[in-house]
Structure 1
Amino acid sequence: MSSTPRALVVVDVQNDFIEGGSLAVAGGRAVAERISTHLAAHASDYAVIAASRDWHHAEGTNGGHFAEPGHDPDYVATWPVHCVQGAPGSDYAPELDTSAVTVHVVKGMGRPAYSAFEGVTDDDRALADVLREAGVQQVDVVGIATDHCVRATALDARAVGFDVRLLADLHAGVAPDSSAAALEAMAAAGVVVEQSR
């Protein structure tokens, strides 16, 4: 392990965000496989390996996050129903090996939430607190989707003081234009983009 403790944050690699899901991202399954390969080779490099999941309520719109029944989602602020607590869509993608994950984070319970830093761990702690308690100063971010939850997670990690790397080959975005804009926003905030190997 490096002298500076590092964390890996795996963002929302869930069934509803990979091919076949209600909010499928092209390349999601392949990204899940590559993250698993990265973990197999590099888990010991990290003091903390955190994985986040959307964990929305089945009832209601989750604070306007789900489109109102009978209305089409705008795919900006409102979305189709996805990642409902306990439903198959909320499960980690089968291609993601979570055996090395040390911290599980859930977010979006009844309200919109994009960043893993908006969620809570199994013991109801904030991710930033968990990382600080482990002495983490550097955070690697991977997952789905580049232009939404990955972007929000990386920006929040910077905002609370961590050095952040986005691993370039370990994320997938919804659309090219919005993904490019997300990469620009992350770079402007000081996020470094590097290949995972």
Structure 2
Amino acid sequence: MAKALIIVDVQNDFCEGGTLAVEGGAAVAGAISEYLDANQQHFDHVVATQDWHIEPGSHFSDEPDMVDSWPPHCRARTKGAELHQDLDPEYIEAYFRKGQYTAAYSGFEGVLAPEDDVPSGDLKAGATVTEVLEEDAIGLDDWLQSHDVEEVVVVGLATDYCVKATALDAVQAGYATTVIAELTAGISDHLDEAFDDMESAGVEVERG
């Protein structure tokens, strides 16, 4: 039985200084790196997800309600979409991009990025981004299954949105799923509710 660590959306725009910053985001980036240095031997695979928006429609708004609509963030190939500098990518084996043309919270909505396309903020000002999803694009669930993964541990940002959605989808897909609370940071001041929802669905939450 293989085990995978899923690092959710530890990107510049979700950390301090970003357009949709989560308090404590940068600290989580560093803490995940330290955790991996100490525990990478316990994982067969490490993957990361990224919000990767091109034209996500009503997901972006100039007057966001911060529930279904949000300030523009994580635009594909911009600095905001890059992994935070405190997250060491050494052990990350694959990247899954989500939300290109719609809202996407769960990492299981992401598709595998090409190995030779390292996510970076190298797009020139004024240029447009076109990334058509191939019919045979590999999703996170397909990738995990092809690598015989049966157990996943989920960490990252934000606890009450993309981490929660990814963990719930992992359980739904049949994976033994754990969330390490101290390796997440959330938007709400009441994260216990998010953790309770995850536990009710069958996620094991390590609350520290």
Identify the residue that residue 133 of structure 1 maps to in structure 2. 146
- Percent identity for Structure 1 against Structure 2: 44
What's the C-alpha RMSD, in Å, of the aligned pairs?
1.2
**2: CA distance, partners of 1:117 / 1:51:** 11
Letter in 2 for 1:27: G
Identify the residue that residue 104 of structure 1 maps to in structure 2. 95
2:67 aligned with 1:76, yes or no?
Answer: yes
Identify the residue that residue 65 of structure 1 maps to in structure 2. 59
Map 1:1-197 → 2, pairs under 5 A = 4-57=1-54, 60=55, 62-67=56-61, 71-123=62-114, 124-177=137-190, 179-194=191-206
Q: Deviations 1:109-145 (Å, cap 9, x if unpaired)?
A: 0100000000001253111111111111110000000
Q: Deviations 1:3-26 (Å, cap 9, x if unpaired)?
A: x31100000000000011000001
Partner SS, residue 138 of structure 1 = strand
**2: CA distance, partners of 1:145 / 1:117:** 15
**2: CA distance, partners of 1:140 / 1:43:** 12
Q: Which runs of 5+ in 1 are unaligned?
A: none
**2: CA distance, partners of 1:99 / 1:195:** 26
Q: Which runs of 5+ in 2 are unaligned?
A: 115-136
Q: Deviations 1:42-65 (Å, cap 9, x if unpaired)?
A: 2222122110000001xx5x1311
**2: CA distance, partners of 1:63 / 1:48:** 33
**2: CA distance, partners of 1:52 / 1:72:** 26
**2: CA distance, partners of 1:43 / 1:101:** 10
Letter in 2 for 1:104: Y
1:47/1:134 contact within 8 Å kept: no
> TM-score scaled by structure 2?
0.86
Cα displacement (A) at 1:181: 2.1
Identify the residue that residue 119 of structure 2 maps to in structure 1. none
Letter in 1 for 2:88: D
Partner SS, residue 21 of structure 1 = coil
Structure 1 stretches of at least 4 aligned residues deviating more than 6 Å after TM superposition: none
Aligned residues: 186
1:55/1:107 contact within 8 Å kept: yes
Cα displacement (A) at 1:182: 1.4
**2: CA distance, partners of 1:19 / 1:91:** 13
**2: CA distance, partners of 1:147 / 1:90:** 20
